[in-house]
């Protein structure tokens, strides 16, 4: 039976350490979308929502939150989303 290849860079194989042969890739982070979400808990219950029919993710469950707009803090975004989604201020 052939020995399996190392699972991670630098893993010991027998008495020799394997060599790590990978190339670093530069990542473009310009398309990253910043979001915020909350887990609101009280009296052993949590606030969670189910997406409605017709939505791309219909019937999926999610915590309240959304995309942070330009010049908006995560806290401001969460407050806006809570008002829009649940009519909670």
Domain layout of the chain by residue ranges = 27-86
**Given this model, what pLDDT does residue 30 score?**
76
Model confidence, pTM: 0.58
Q: What is the pLDDT of residues 13-58, one digit of tens each?
A: 555 555 566 566 677 777 888 999 999 899 999 988 898 899 888 9
What residues contact 58, with CB distance under 8 A and at least 6 apart? 51, 52
The CATH fold of domain 27-86: Nucleoside Triphosphate Pyrophosphohydrolase (3.90.79)
């Amino acid at each position: 039976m052939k020995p399996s290849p190392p699972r991670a860079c630098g893993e010991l194989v027998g008495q020799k350490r394997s060599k790590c042969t990978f190339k670093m890739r530069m990542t473009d982070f310009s398309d990253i979308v910043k979001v915020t979400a909350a887990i609101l808990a009280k009296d052993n219950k949590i606030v969670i929502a189910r997406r409605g029919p017709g939505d791309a993710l219909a019937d999926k469950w999610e915590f309240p939150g959304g995309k942070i707009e330009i010049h908006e803090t995560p806290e401001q975004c969460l407050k806006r989303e809570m008002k829009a989604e649940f009519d909670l201020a």
